[in-house]
Amino acid sequence: MKRMLNCYFSRYNSIAIVIFSLKNNS
């Protein structure tokens, strides 16, 4: 379960970084 959560968190984190950079650009 811990490994699953970690994988999900890393995936969500990468998406959040993309959204944040997009917001920063505009």
In this predicted structure, what is the pLDDT of residue 1? 76
In this predicted structure, what is the pLDDT of residue 10? 93
Provide the domain limits for residue 7: 1-25
| Number of domains the chain is built from | 1
At 21 the three-state DSSP class reads helix
In this predicted structure, what is the pLDDT of residue 26? 78
Q: pLDDT digits over 1-26, tens only?
A: 789 888 899 999 999 999 999 999 87
Q: Between vectors from CA 16 to CA 15 and to CA 18, what angle results, nearest 5°?
A: 65
Kindly state the tokens that stand for 8: 């999900």
Quickly list DSSP for 1-19.
Answer: -HHHHHHHHHHHHHHHHHH
Indicate whether this model's pTM tops 0.85: no
In this predicted structure, what is the pLDDT of residue 14? 96
